[in-house]
Amino acid sequence: MRKCVALISGGLDSFTAAAMMKAEGMELYALSFRYGQRHSVELESARKVAAFLNAREHRVLDTTLGSLGGSALTSAIAVPKDRPESGMAREIPITYVPARNTVFLSYALAWAEVLSASDIAIGANAVDYSGYPDCRPEFIEAYERMANLALAAAVEGKIRVRIRAPLLHMTKAEIIRTGLALGLDYSLTHSCYDPAPDGRACGRCDSCILRAAGFVKAGAPDPLALKA
Amino acid sequence: MRKCVALISGGLDSFTAAAMMKAEGMELYALSFRYGQRHSVELESARKVAAFLNAREHRVLDTTLGSLGGSALTSAIAVPKDRPESGMAREIPITYVPARNTVFLSYALAWAEVLSASDIAIGANAVDYSGYPDCRPEFIEAYERMANLALAAAVEGKIRVRIRAPLLHMTKAEIIRTGLALGLDYSLTHSCYDPAPDGRACGRCDSCILRAAGFVKAGAPDPLALKA
């Protein structure tokens, strides 16, 4: 059985990407991170998602990435609210965390080598929220190229690493429809950048707005909104 | 003043690489890691080296890389001893840590973006110990290419990241001669893969053997050997 290290954030994108790998018949090894996020609700969702997908193992690694600063997600900078969808795409958002996907993929790469896993799944998406440089196809391709020069197992020809970003060119509505067709329970996920102390989504940050619009366009209710 | 994030292990290679960047007139930001090494003597050396080089700042980050396993440096696998220099070059050593340089460079990249540093220095060397895949020129080049696609500051044209590996094509003797010409105190460094509980070098691992041979070929005494 082919193994896939799946980056799981607790959000719906990484859930869907991992589920698509599972649907290809791969065995999942879920990987999540503590990196100085404001809230732990993300990691609770990650645990639920990994369990739902029957991941063979779920590791949560501590990173000290947040201590380096530079992002609204890990520091005191305010998360922007109430921006229309049309205003999000052109600029790099303040919620960008320097080198986050690079760091996360690098740990996934280390684990992939230890497991002899050929595939690494990431929920990166370049359509609905193209402001993050490390969610673009050219970044993913360059990372994969580098990865196959970095690992002993790749250099020795034992594995060929593939960075799988199946959502890269999908809209949020397409992602949601794909996940629903795979039977995913999106009530387990969490997308908000700035949840309330009790973990509830704010409904006003970019991520909440994109999620809500995605469910509307997919013609499906958001089970999280129903629960709230 | 141009800024350089310098990876500092406590060994003589990274000390020399960082000193070469300083000699170019750059301001140094030293970065070291806890990653499950067997001994903390490396980090003590890293602190001394960073202080000697007048680094503007020295950060020691915790990583959980060691918990992923797969290396003699971070697990119970025995470190090989008494291998002749000629037998080291052709194979990937058991002291290889999966994706280590990839993970270290990724943190350096995050810090570089926060600092607006253009240069990242690493003591990688492909001559005397060519067994590590992530010490080869093709890896360094692929990493640099990826890095400039990953960072917001690079994509926006504010910085162009350069991964500086000035020792890549130098022999250990050339590295030592360069460092001595720059006035470096190599008694501060530590190279052993398997030091005694009191921190003293074993003298028999690959790293000790290469260091000793390097000083002999450079025609200089090893100040660490004199101290022991």
Please report, rounded to a whole number, the percentage of residues in chain B having pLDDT higher than 70. 95
Mean pLDDT of A12-31: 98
Q: How far apart are CA A76 and CA A94, in angstroms?
A: 11
Mean residue pLDDT of chain A comes to 90
- How many Cβ atoms sit within 10 Å of the Cβ of residue A217? 15
* Cα B91 → chain centroid: 20
**Strand, helix or coil for residue A146:** helix
Look at residue B191 in the predicted model and tell me its pLDDT. Answer: 86
How does residue A186 score in pLDDT terms, banded at 50, 70 and 90?
very high
The 10s digit of each residue's pLDDT in B143-152 is 999 999 999 9
Mean pLDDT of A69-88: 76
Look at residue A50 in the predicted model and tell me its pLDDT. Answer: 98
**Strand, helix or coil for residue B48:** helix
Those residues whose C-beta lies under 8 Å from the C-beta of residue A27, and which sit 6 or more positions away, are A1, A2, A3, A4, A56
Residue B79 confidence (pLDDT) above 90: no
Mean pLDDT of A103-117: 96
From the list A96, A106, A114, the residue facing B70 with the nearest CB is A114
The 10s digit of each residue's pLDDT in B101-115 is 999 999 999 999 999
Look at residue A18 in the predicted model and tell me its pLDDT. Answer: 98
Residue B61 confidence (pLDDT) above 70: yes
Yes or no, beta carbons of B149 and A142 under 8 Å apart: yes
| Element at B2 (helix H, strand E) | none
Please report, rounded to a whole number, the percentage of residues in chain B having pLDDT higher than 90. 65
Look at residue B38 in the predicted model and tell me its pLDDT. Answer: 66
* CB B139 within 8 Å of CB B94: no
Yes or no, beta carbons of B151 and A99 under 8 Å apart: yes
Q: What tokens were used for B96? A: 């290889």
Look at residue A226 in the predicted model and tell me its pLDDT. Answer: 64
Mean residue pLDDT of chain B comes to 90
A156 contacts in chain B (CB < 8 Å): 92
Look at residue A138 in the predicted model and tell me its pLDDT. Answer: 96
Closest-approach residue (CA) in chain A for B111: A68
- How many Cβ atoms sit within 10 Å of the Cβ of residue B69? 18
A114 contacts in chain B (CB < 8 Å): 68-70, 98
Residue B5 confidence (pLDDT) above 80: yes
Look at residue A87 in the predicted model and tell me its pLDDT. Answer: 66
Closest-approach residue (CA) in chain B for A102: B106
Domain ranges for chain A: 3-227
Residue A199 confidence (pLDDT) above 90: no
Closest-approach residue (CA) in chain B for A114: B70
Q: What tokens were used for B108? A: 């350096």
| pTM to 2 decimal places | 0.92
Yes or no, beta carbons of A99 and B107 under 8 Å apart: yes
The pairing of beta strand B57-62 with beta strand A162-164: unpaired
Question: Is A96's Cβ below 8 Å from some Cβ in B?
Answer: yes
Look at residue B129 in the predicted model and tell me its pLDDT. Answer: 64
Q: What tokens were used for A171? A: 């809209």
Which of A33, A149, A159, A160 to mutate to test binding with chain B, by most B CBs within 10 Å of its CB? A149
Q: How far apart are CA A165 and CA A139, in angstroms?
A: 11
Question: Is B130's Cβ below 8 Å from some Cβ in A?
Answer: no
Look at residue B2 in the predicted model and tell me its pLDDT. Answer: 96
Q: What is the complex's ipTM, to 2 decimals?
A: 0.91
* CB B112 within 8 Å of CB B5: yes
Look at residue A130 in the predicted model and tell me its pLDDT. Answer: 62
Instruction: Identify the weakest region by mean pLDDT among A97-111, A164-178, B14-28, B192-206.
Output: B192-206
The residues facing B57 across adjacent strands are B29
Look at residue B35 in the predicted model and tell me its pLDDT. Answer: 81
Q: What tokens were used for B115? A: 């600092």
CATH topology of domain A3-227: Rossmann fold (3.40.50)
Mean pLDDT of A145-174: 95
Mean pLDDT of B29-56: 91
Look at residue A38 in the predicted model and tell me its pLDDT. Answer: 66
Mean pLDDT of B87-93: 68
Residue A116 confidence (pLDDT) above 80: yes
Q: Rg for chain B (alpha carbons), in Å? A: 17
